[in-house]
Structure 1
Amino acid sequence: MSTPRVQLLIEDQHVVMDNGILQVTLSNPGGLVTGIQYNGIDNLLEVLDVETNRGYWDLVWSQAGSTGTTGTFDVFEGTTFRVIVENEEQVEVSFTRTWDPSLEGKFVSLNLDNRFIMLRNSSGFYSYAIFEHLADWPPFNLPQTRIVFQLRKDKFHYMVVADNRQRFMPLPDDRLPERGEPLDFPEAVLLVDPVEPEFKGEVDDKYQYSCENKDLHVHGWICFDPPTGFWQITPSSEFRSGGPLKQNLTSHVGPYTLAMFLSAHYAGEDLVLKLNPGEPWKKVFGPVFMYLNSVVDKDNALSLWDDAKEQYLKEVHCWPYSFPASEDFPCSDQRGKISGRLQVLDRYISHECIAANDAYVGLAPPGDVGSWQRECKGYQFWTKTDGDGSFCIGDIRTGDYNLYAWIPGFIGDYRNDTVITVTAGCEIDVGDLVYEPPRDGPTVWEIGIPDRSAAEFYIPDPNPKYINKLFINHPDRFRQYGLWERYADLYPDGDLVYRVGLSDYKKDWFFAQVNRKKDDGTLEGTTWQIKFKLDDVDQSGAFKLRLALATANVAELLVRINDPKIDPPHFSTGEIGHDNTIARHGVHGLYRLYNVDVPGTTLVEGENTVFLTQTPRTSPLQGIMYDYIRLEGPPPPDSKETL
C-alpha cells in the first residue's frame, strides 16, 4: 500500500511540510514552528499564545570576559530560507541567520543554520542546527541553547519523563500570582488556589523533573481527547555538554517540552561555553526527533508512552541518521570505532587486576583528568562496560580525543594519556587499560558509597506544607522542595555527629551539609563531626583523608583534626562550586575529590574527631553534598614486598 509523498508548500509568511500523517507549519524566513496538525487536532501548539512563542530554538549569550550563567536571551529567527532537499521521500529546509560586523553587540557572533526534516511515512519531524564561529569574529560566552515547544494547555495535561515519573500536571495559570505563591526561588511555586483543587498545597518546580543525559532519551505529554502523544526523542547524547551525568531539564508545566543541548544547570559557570579570541568553532546540535502518536481508545492513552519508548529504540538503531543533508553531520561510514577492556588495580582490595564492570567509559576532547564533566565545545561518546570490563564505542566523529572513565565503587577518574585520533572507518583496539584509583594505605573507616551521588545518605521527609505528591514513597525522594530546611528541624541546637562503627550513614548522615536557619531567620555555618577510635597510632606514619564531594554551591569546606578551633585549619577547599544542586532537588552536580594529608602526630590512641565545617552563610542554598569519605592508614612497612 502506497503512502502519501512528502509535500512542501511555500507561502509568503509560512512554509508547510506535509506527509499525510502530520503537517508542520514554519514561519518564513524565521523558521519558528507555528503549527503542528495531527490526529484531527488543527494545532497541537498553544494557539492562545503568539506564533513566536510556540516552537523555537533559543540561546543565551554574553560578552567575552563576563562572569556568571546569565546573558542575553535570543529566540533566533532566520533571515534566509532555503530548500535543501525536496522529493517524494524527504523534505529538508534551512533557516539561516548570518553574522556580520554590523551586528556586533546586537546578536551573538555566530552563523546559525536551523534545519527541519520530514520523511515519508514518519509520524514526526526532525530538527538540528549548525553553529559556526569564525576565528576573526568577536569571542563570546554561550551558557545555553535548546529547542522549546509549548503545547496547548487545554489538551495536554499528562506529563511523562520516566516510567516512575509521570502524572497529571497543574496548569500554567496555577503558577500566576493570584493562584500561586513564589517560594525561595522563582521556579518553585506553592499552588494555593489552583484551577483543579486536587493540586492545592503542592509545589511545582520544573527542576523536579530534571534528568541525567545518560537517561534523557524520551519525554513528553499525553492528550486524552483525542488520545495523542507529543514526544521529544534524543537518540544520542554526543552533542550534549557535560557528559553522561550532566542533568538537564525535560518537560514541565506550560505544557513545555525541551531539548536541552547546552546548559549550566547543576554545574554553574564551569559549563558555560567560552570562546577565546581567535578561536574558531563549529558544532552540530541534533538531530532530535519530535514524535507524535495516537490511539483510538481513551482508556488506552497511557500506552502511548510505551510506544514512544519503542520509537526511541528505533531511532537509536538508525543513529547516526543517513538522511541529514549537511556535510557537517557525518553518517556512519564517515565515523570510527574504538574498543578495549578496563580493569582496576586497588592493592588494598586485590593484588590482581579486577574487571571494571559497569564502568562509564567515554571519548571527549583532550583535557585534564575528569575534564569531560566540564567540557562543552566538542562531542562526547560514552558507553558502559560489560561484566569483564570490555567496552565498544561506535559511530565516533573524526577528531582527537582522550579516553576517560569512572567506575562506581572507586574514587577518582581515569584518563588514558594517549591522544586518540579517530578517522573515518577506523577500528581502534586500545587493549587492556588499568585504572589505579587514589590509595595510599588500608581503609581505617569509610562513609558512603563512591558513586558520585549523595542518594545513599539520609533524605528527610519533606515539610508537609511543600509536597509534590509524585515523590511521596518514591525512589527519588530527594526531589521534594525545601529539604535543606529540614536540617535545622533535625538539628536545632547542635550539629551532626557521626560515630564510626555505631552510626549508619543511611540514617545518620544528612544528605547535604547546609547552613542552619535559626528562629530569627539568620543563618549560621555548620560543623559536622566524625568520631572514631584508634587502638594504636603510628605517630611517624602518614594517614590520608579522602573527601569525594558530589556537589558544592558557594561553599568552603574546612577540615580540622581533634582541635575544632585550630587556625589555620588542617585543610581548606577554598570557595568552591556554583552547582545550585540543593535548590534544584538533585543529589549531585560536579564531582570533586580532595586528598588531605593527616600526619600521625595529629591523631591519638583512643577517640579522635574529624571536624568538617561549611563556612559561608549568606544563603540557605549554600552547602555541599558528600559522595564518599575514607580515612586511610599508613601503608604497612612491607607493602611493596607484598604486591
Structure 2
Amino acid sequence: MKLPTVALGLLLTGISLAKQHGFLKDNGDGTWIIGNDVWNMTQEKIYGSKLYYKDQELVGEATGHYVSYNGAASNLAWTDANIVKTGSNYIDIQFDAAEGEMHWVIFNGLAGAYQYFVNRALPVLGEFRTLWRLDNETFTSAYNADKDGVLPPLSEYAVSTKIQDETWKTPDEGYLTKYDWSGFVREQEYWGVYGENFGSWYLKQHPGKDYFNGDHLKQELMNHRESATGDVVQLNMIHGTHFQALSNDTLPNGKIWGPWLWYLNNGIKSDVSLRYNNEVNSWPYKWLSDASYRSRIASVTGKLVLSDGRPAAGAAVFLGDNHPNKTTLDMGSTYYYTTYADNDGSFRFTDVRTGVYALQAWSNGSPIGDITTTYLKNDINVSGPATSKLRLDKLTWSVPASDTVFQIGDFDRKSTGFAYSGGFGAGRVDNCPANLTYAVGSSETSDWCFAQNKIGTFRIAFPLPASNITSNNTSDALLTVSLAGYSQGTTVNIFCNDVRIGNLSSSGILSDPSLYRSGTVAGEWHQFEFPINGSRLKTSNTIDFRVASLSSSLWRGPIYDAIKLEWI
C-alpha cells in the first residue's frame, strides 16, 4: 500500500544548509532521518521506514530496513547515530548497537548509499543479514542471476496448501516457495526488487565479496514475497546458512562485512548493470580508511599442475582458513577468496587482505573431472604494501594413478549434467524415477537423475572382460561416491551384485536443506569410498543404490555429484 507523498522539504526542517547533500537529522525522540537531496529514510530504534525517493514513499505498510542475526528474534536495536567521517562529497553515518556498527556512506546526489557493518560483539554465527521489506504494490518483480520475474502475489498463497518450510502446493499441483528465489552468492553482480517505476538493488562488486562465508558453491535466499504479510523482501544474507549443514563461526572484533552499494533507480536492470561496472572499476573504495580494510596486496598468483603432468585446468581454487578444521563451505570467521584456474592451471586472486591462509583446490569438472582428491597448501603468508604481488611457486597436486572401470558424472561437487539438475525449483526431484538403469558403455550422463527420493533402485550395469575375472588373480576395486548434497531422512543401501557394501544415511552424513529448499545443483559436499572384494565381480555386474527408507517429510535424500569404480 502506498502512503501519501511527503515533500522532502518537510523532512529537512531544522537543517541549516540551503542546499542539502548527505545529512543526519536527530529527531530527539530516538529516531533519525538520513539521506541526501535525492532520497531520505527515517531510522527508528530497529526499523528504517518512510523511505522517500522521487517524491514517493517506498516502504508503505511493510517493515522497512533492519539488521538481524540468528533469526528475526535477534534484531539489532540502535542506540546512537553520528557522522563519523566527512569527505568532500560524502558523509559516513554510524548507527551503534550492542553488537556493532552499521554504516551508511551517503554521497551527494547518489540514489542510495554504501553500507558496511563492523563487528564488536556478535555471538557465534549462524545467520547475519541486512534487508529491506518494501511496498508490495510498488515492487512487483525480483531479479538475481538465477531467476528474474514477477513475484507470486499474496493471494496465490491464500488459495494454496502449506506442505513444509515456507512451501505451498498450488491448486494446479505446482509448488510455491520463497526458496525458488535463491542464488549462488559469488556469481551475483547485483540483485533486487523492481516495478514499473522503481527498483531497489544490492550491488556486490567482484572481487569485493571476501566477507561472505563459504566457497564457490555458497547459495543463499536473495529475494521473495513474505507469505505472512505480503511484503516484498530484498534480502542481503552477508553471513548465511540457508543451504548449509553447519555454520558456527566465532567472529573477530573488527570484522567488516561490506561495503556494498544499496542502489535506487527506475527499475531498469541495464542501468544497474552500468552502475555495477562502475563499482568494479572503483574497487577497493578509497573512502573507507579502516586499517584492516586498507591492509591488502594487489594479487596472489600461482599455477597448479597435477602429478600426472596435466595442468589443473578449470580447477576451483580457494584461499581461506589456515590449517583448516572446517570444510570450505562452512568457513566464515574471517575473509575468503574464490577463483577458477585457467586452461594451463594458472590462477589469480586480486586485492587480498594481509594474513596467513591455506590454499585449496578441487576439480570443477572436465578436463580434470576424474580427480577425486583435494589440493591443500597451508601457511601462505600474504603481506607487504598494497602494490605487492605474491607469486607462489608451481604447485604440484598429487593425484593417484587410476585404472577406471567406469565413471558417471564429473567430480565437481555439483550435480551438473544429470537429469533435472540446474537452477532452483521446488519439487524438481519429483521428476526423478523410482527406478532407473544406467548401462555403462551405452547410457549418457543425463540418464542418471540428479537426486534420489523414492522407494526403488538406481542401478549401474557394467561388464568386465574375462581377462579381469580369474579364479586365482582377481583385483579388488574401489567405488567412490561423491554427493553434491544430502538432506536427512532417506537411507540408500549400496549393493554390488546383490551384496551390500555400504550405505548413505542420516547416521553418517550431516544434513543440509538444499534438496527440500529448491536446490538442484549443490548443498554440502560429501565423498565416500567403498572397497569391493574382487571375488564378487563377474563378467556381468550391477551396483545398486536401493532406497531402504524415506522421511515422512518431502524431498529428502542424496544429490549426486559423481560415481567412479576403479581397480586398486
After the TM superposition, which residues 298-313 of structure 1 pair with which residues of structure 2 at under 5 Å, given as runs? 304-313=268-277
RMSD value, Cα: 2.7
1:105-163 deviations in whole A, cap 9, x for unaligned? xxxxxx321221111232211222122349xxxxx54221111101111111122223x
- Paired residues of 1:6 and 1:87 also in contact (CA < 8 A): no
After the TM superposition, which residues 265-276 of structure 1 pair with which residues of structure 2 at under 5 Å, given as runs? 265-268=242-245, 270-273=246-249, 275=250
1:400 and 1:88 map into 2 onto residues whose CA distance is 36
1:35 CA displacement:
2.7
1:436 and 1:74 map into 2 onto residues whose CA distance is 46
2:168 and 2:296 map into 1 onto residues whose CA distance is 46
Q: What SS does the corresponding residue of 1:502 show, helix, strand or coil?
A: coil
Structure 2 counterpart of 1:263, from 221, 227, 240: 240
Match of 2:310 in 1: 353
- Paired residues of 2:125 and 2:247 also in contact (CA < 8 A): no
Q: What SS does the corresponding residue of 2:459 show, helix, strand or coil?
A: strand
Whichever residue aligns with residue 384 of structure 1, its letter is: Y
Match of 2:262 in 1: 290
Match of 2:223 in 1: 251
Match of 1:7 in 2: 23
- Paired residues of 1:370 and 1:404 also in contact (CA < 8 A): no
Q: Taking structure 1 as reference, are residues 383 and 600 closer, same or farther at Cα in structure 2, changes over 3 Å only?
A: same
Whichever residue aligns with residue 440 of structure 2, its letter is: V
Q: Taking structure 1 as reference, are residues 412 and 26 closer, same or farther at Cα in structure 2, changes over 3 Å only?
A: farther
After the TM superposition, which residues 325-364 of structure 1 pair with which residues of structure 2 at under 5 Å, given as runs? 327=290, 329-331=292-294, 334-345=295-306, 347=308, 352-354=309-311, 356-364=312-320
Match of 1:54 in 2: 64
Whichever residue aligns with residue 146 of structure 1, its letter is: R
Q: What SS does the corresponding residue of 1:73 show, helix, strand or coil?
A: helix
1:201 and 1:612 map into 2 onto residues whose CA distance is 29
- Paired residues of 1:616 and 1:622 also in contact (CA < 8 A): no
Structure 1 counterpart of 2:493, from 549, 558, 562: 558
1:460-489 deviations in whole A, cap 9, x for unaligned? xxxxxxxxxxxxxxx94x6333233344xx
Whichever residue aligns with residue 590 of structure 1, its letter is: E
1:173 CA displacement:
4.5
1:80 CA displacement:
2.6
1:87 and 1:457 map into 2 onto residues whose CA distance is 53
- Paired residues of 2:487 and 2:556 also in contact (CA < 8 A): yes
Match of 2:528 in 1: 594
Whichever residue aligns with residue 271 of structure 1, its letter is: S
2:261 and 2:47 map into 1 onto residues whose CA distance is 16
Match of 1:102 in 2: none
> Is residue 39 of structure 2 the alignment partner of residue 22 of structure 1?
yes
2:253 and 2:536 map into 1 onto residues whose CA distance is 52
Q: What SS does the corresponding residue of 2:104 show, helix, strand or coil?
A: strand
Structure 2 counterpart of 1:505, from 445, 451, 454: 445
> Is residue 128 of structure 2 the alignment partner of residue 182 of structure 1?
no
After the TM superposition, which residues 179-578 of structure 1 pair with which residues of structure 2 at under 5 Å, given as runs? 179-192=158-171, 203-224=175-196, 227-235=197-205, 236-253=208-225, 254-268=231-245, 270-273=246-249, 275=250, 281-294=253-266, 304-324=268-288, 327=290, 329-331=292-294, 334-345=295-306, 347=308, 352-354=309-311, 356-368=312-324, 371-409=327-365, 410=369, 411-412=371-372, 414-425=374-385, 426-437=388-399, 439-459=400-420, 476=422, 479-487=424-432, 490-491=433-434, 495-506=435-446, 508-516=447-455, 526-535=456-465, 536-537=467-468, 539-554=473-488, 555-564=490-499, 566=500, 569-570=501-502, 574-578=507-511
* Structure 1: runs of 5 or more not aligned: 61-70, 99-110, 135-139, 193-199, 295-300, 460-474, 517-525, 635-643
> Is residue 108 of structure 2 the alignment partner of residue 114 of structure 1?
no
Q: Taking structure 1 as reference, are residues 595 and 79 closer, same or farther at Cα in structure 2, changes over 3 Å only?
A: same
- Paired residues of 1:370 and 1:415 also in contact (CA < 8 A): no
1:58 and 1:112 map into 2 onto residues whose CA distance is 11
1:528-574 deviations in whole A, cap 9, x for unaligned? 3211111132644232222111111115543332124x4xx356675
Q: Taking structure 1 as reference, are residues 419 and 337 closer, same or farther at Cα in structure 2, changes over 3 Å only?
A: farther
1:603 CA displacement:
1.2
Q: What SS does the corresponding residue of 1:357 show, helix, strand or coil?
A: coil
- Paired residues of 1:6 and 1:91 also in contact (CA < 8 A): yes
2:40 and 2:253 map into 1 onto residues whose CA distance is 35
Match of 1:34 in 2: 49
- Paired residues of 2:427 and 2:555 also in contact (CA < 8 A): no
Q: What SS does the corresponding residue of 2:392 show, helix, strand or coil?
A: strand
Q: What SS does the corresponding residue of 1:431 show, helix, strand or coil?
A: coil
Match of 1:44 in 2: 58
How many equivalent residue pairs? Answer: 529
- Paired residues of 1:364 and 1:379 also in contact (CA < 8 A): yes
1:32 CA displacement:
3.2
Q: Taking structure 1 as reference, are residues 32 and 127 closer, same or farther at Cα in structure 2, changes over 3 Å only?
A: farther
- Paired residues of 2:252 and 2:333 also in contact (CA < 8 A): no
* Structure 2: runs of 5 or more not aligned: 1-18, 226-230
1:39 CA displacement:
1.9
Q: What SS does the corresponding residue of 1:94 show, helix, strand or coil?
A: strand
- Paired residues of 1:341 and 1:388 also in contact (CA < 8 A): no
Q: What SS does the corresponding residue of 1:550 show, helix, strand or coil?
A: strand
TM-score (norm 1): 0.76
1:486 and 1:572 map into 2 onto residues whose CA distance is 21
1:402 and 1:230 map into 2 onto residues whose CA distance is 37
Q: Taking structure 1 as reference, are residues 369 and 344 closer, same or farther at Cα in structure 2, changes over 3 Å only?
A: farther
- Paired residues of 1:249 and 1:260 also in contact (CA < 8 A): yes
- Paired residues of 1:614 and 1:623 also in contact (CA < 8 A): no
Match of 2:93 in 1: 93
Whichever residue aligns with residue 276 of structure 2, its letter is: Y
1:505 CA displacement:
2.9
Q: What SS does the corresponding residue of 2:393 show, helix, strand or coil?
A: strand
TM-score (norm 2): 0.86
1:607 CA displacement:
0.6
2:460 and 2:372 map into 1 onto residues whose CA distance is 22
2:404 and 2:418 map into 1 onto residues whose CA distance is 20
2:198 and 2:156 map into 1 onto residues whose CA distance is 24
Q: Using the aligned pairs only, state the percent identity.
A: 23
1:320 CA displacement:
2.4
1:504 and 1:34 map into 2 onto residues whose CA distance is 54
Whichever residue aligns with residue 392 of structure 1, its letter is: R
Q: What SS does the corresponding residue of 2:73 show, helix, strand or coil?
A: strand
1:576 CA displacement:
0.9
Whichever residue aligns with residue 427 of structure 2, its letter is: G
Q: What SS does the corresponding residue of 2:126 show, helix, strand or coil?
A: strand
Whichever residue aligns with residue 24 of structure 1, its letter is: M
1:220 CA displacement:
1.2
Whichever residue aligns with residue 240 of structure 2, its letter is: S
